[in-house]
Structure 1
Amino acid sequence: MTIADTVVDWYHENKRDLPWRRHGFTPWGTLVSEFMLQQTPVARVIPRLDEWLTRWPTPADLAAVPPGEAVRAWKSLGYPRRALWLHACAVAITERHDGVVPEDVDALLALPGIGDYTARAVAVFAYGNRHPVVDTNIRRVIARAIDGQGEPGPPSAKRDLVAMETLLPAGRPAAAAFNAGMMELGAIVCVARTPRCDECPLREVCAWRLAGSPPYDGPRKTVQKKYEGSDRQVRGLILAELRASHIPVTPGEIAGVWPDAVQRERALAGLLADGLAVETPDGYVLP
């Protein structure tokens, strides 16, 4: 039995019941979920995804409202520029593709805010096309099971996609299940800090486990700075004020969200530059 066969069998027996895996889930829903899942845990995404798709079940529905409504509905998911990109994406799909999410990877890549991972994920998980899909979880499983390393090295799209393509089954349904299975394996078993190796379906062939699970000593990605006290936190506080109001938020009200005036002004300038806030004669509003 190949690694792919083993992972696919394990996936069918152990996969979590997630909205985007259910029969009848739309390509638009898949695209929205992929935007939301970037750097955000599944548990936080599910309720917001349900709210979003209830309100805007098609790209045309979202495209018909101002982008600020998307930012308002994003709430606490974090990295709110994703909401602006998703709105721009909905407009492009409505205008270029008659409101239908395309299934071709190149067509998906041409949409605003869509990178290589998201394009391939939509093509595979929404339409069942055969492409390798690589995220952080998959990279970690390949690093351990195939390369014998405790952690993956820095991302390389070309190298990572080739590594996944080498393992990918020939048939479309099996390939889609293998992509999802590798992702699921990395998310719930082959996790970063405390992998549950005894529960892993690849435990008998995992190169890292067979080598005694040596510690990783290669290059590491840059550690993100803490959120508390950062410009990101201040941006979030200002954005919360804008989301909570349907009239302009005055400079005085902005001043009350954070005591450090220099940092506060820097955060506000960043929101304006990113298009997440708009200055009016009466104050600041969502776009």
Structure 2
Amino acid sequence: MSSVPAGPVPGLDVPAFHESVTRWFDDAARDLPWRRPERTPWEVMVSEFMLQQTPVVRVLPVWRAWMQRWPRPEDLAAATAGEAVRAWGRLGYPRRALRLHATAAEITGRHGGAVPARHDELLDLPGVGAYTAAAIAVFAFGDRRTVVDTNIRRVHARVVTGRALPSRSLTAAETRLAEELMPADDALSVRWNQAVMELGALICTARAPRCERCPVRNACAWVAAGRPAPEEAPPGQTWHGTDRQVRGAIMAVLRAGAAPVPSRHLTGPVDVTVGAPDLTTVLDPGALRALDALHGLDAPEEQRRRALEGLLSDGLAVEGPAGVSLPG
């Protein structure tokens, strides 16, 4: 791939960049069900909700189970919010399940059960922000829009600007660069978005890029500069001991059980709750195992209370006279 002095991105042969990446994608693309020609806009929408901050390998089995159970928005809308949260399983960030359930109800009530194709109508749906609306418009309806996720930003940063990693938050400069690199042809623009995203996910990864297999390594400014280290180290994914871990453990108890769980068993002292005589009459075996795992974290009572209060405040759990459960 040759460099050229003029064009939307000085020094980069953009048409050749498009051709190399999309040709690589033709051979290397993963066979994902939400990319297949027969996929529906609803299938694309569910995938976009699930893929937020979650890798494909974890999403695939949950997505397939959801599509079998709720193949249309009206199917999910007819279920309870609690059923959606329970089916979300261990994907993390379960508020996405609540928002997807609310979106399904909105689509059913206001759009006749059809995912709206207009970008402004997508933005009006619960839980659909700028990125998700653009991704659905592009991948479900073939719109020519920029879709800028972390993978795409990383490819752009390395190939064009020579930086090891993009900035921590999306900048106006990155958005402009994505727009400048966008092909003019509608069909090619959709393919381009998919291809660059896949390149970042499979080859141009954050921690161990496979530069020897990259279709644009000869045009990559980062490689040409000797692959300099990041200007700032990426933040670590702290989990153990955090409120997020405790929230997840409480959610596991609620998902596993059919009956409400008295809050004292979630937040009280371990020696009082675990093995208490009344537990086996209140909780089924799955919930008991999840409760043991919760208390096995040795999280302070204050942290467990704070986590439970957060779940109640977010609508991920409700508390009634019999105890705490998933929303109805």
With the shorter chain as reference, the TM-score category is: over 0.9
Q: Which residue of 1 aligns with 2:277?
A: none
CA distance in 1, matches of 2:248, 2:114: 33
Q: Specify the SS of the correspondent of 2:219.
A: coil
| Alignment length (residue pairs) | 285
Aligned to 1:57: 71
Match of 1:251 among 263, 288, 297: 263
Deviations for 1:153-182, whole angstroms, at most 9, x for unmatched residues? 132353333211111111111110100000
Q: Among all aligned residue pairs of Structure 1 and Structure 2, give the percentage whose two residues are the same amino acid.
A: 52
Shift of 1:221: 5.8
Give the counterpart of 1:171 among 181, 185, 194: 185
The 2-side partners of 1:248 and 1:156 are apart by: 42
Residue 326 of structure 2 corresponds to: 286
8 Å CA contact retained: 1:235, 1:267: yes
Write out per-residue CA displacement over residues 175-196 of structure 1, whole angstroms, 9 at most, x where no aligned residue.
1010000000000001111111
Aligned counterparts, 1:56-135, within 5 A: 56-135=70-149
Gaps of at least 5 residues in structure 2 are 1-14, 274-293
* Distance across 2 between alignment mates of 1:150 and 1:239: 37
Query: In the aligned structure 1, how far is the partner of 2:182 from the partner of 2:313?
Result: 42
Aligned partners of 1:68 and 1:286 also within 8 Å: yes
Q: Secondary structure at the match of 1:279?
A: strand
TM-score (norm 2): 0.84
Answer with 162-171 or 143-152: which moved more: 162-171
In our comparison, the structure showing a higher alpha carbon Rg is 2
- Structure 1 residue 220 displacement after superposition: 5.6
Q: What code does the residue aligned with 1:184 have?
A: E
Q: Is the counterpart of residue 229 in structure 1 residue 241 in structure 2?
A: yes
- 1:189 matched to which residue of 2? 203
- Is residue 180 from structure 1 mapped to residue 220 from structure 2 by the alignment? no
User: Which residue number corresponds to residue 286 of structure 2?
Assistant: none
Query: Post-superposition shift, 1:127?
Result: 0.9
Task: Could you list the structure 1 runs, at least 4 aligned residues long, displaced by more than 6 angstroms after superposition.
Answer: none
Q: Give 3-state SS (helix, strand or coil) of 1:228's partner.
A: coil
Number of the residue aligned with 1:274: 314
1:55-83 per-residue CA deviation (whole Å, 9 max, x = no partner) reads: 00111111111111100000111111110
SS in 2 for 1:262: helix
Amino acid at match of 2:26: H
CA contact (8 A) 1:249 1:285 kept: yes
Q: Distance in 2 between matches of 1:154 and 1:238?
A: 30
Which deviations, in whole Å up to 9, do the C-alpha atoms of 1:121-147 show, x marking residues without a partner? 111111111111110000000000001
1:142 matches 2:156: yes
Where 2:304 maps in the other structure, the secondary structure is helix
Which AA in structure 2 matches 1:156? L
> Which of 165, 175, 180 is the equivalent residue of 1:161?
175
Gaps of 5+ in 1: none
Do the aligned partners of 1:3 and 1:167 also contact (CA within 8 Å) in 2? Answer: no
Q: Which amino acid aligns with 2:263?
A: P
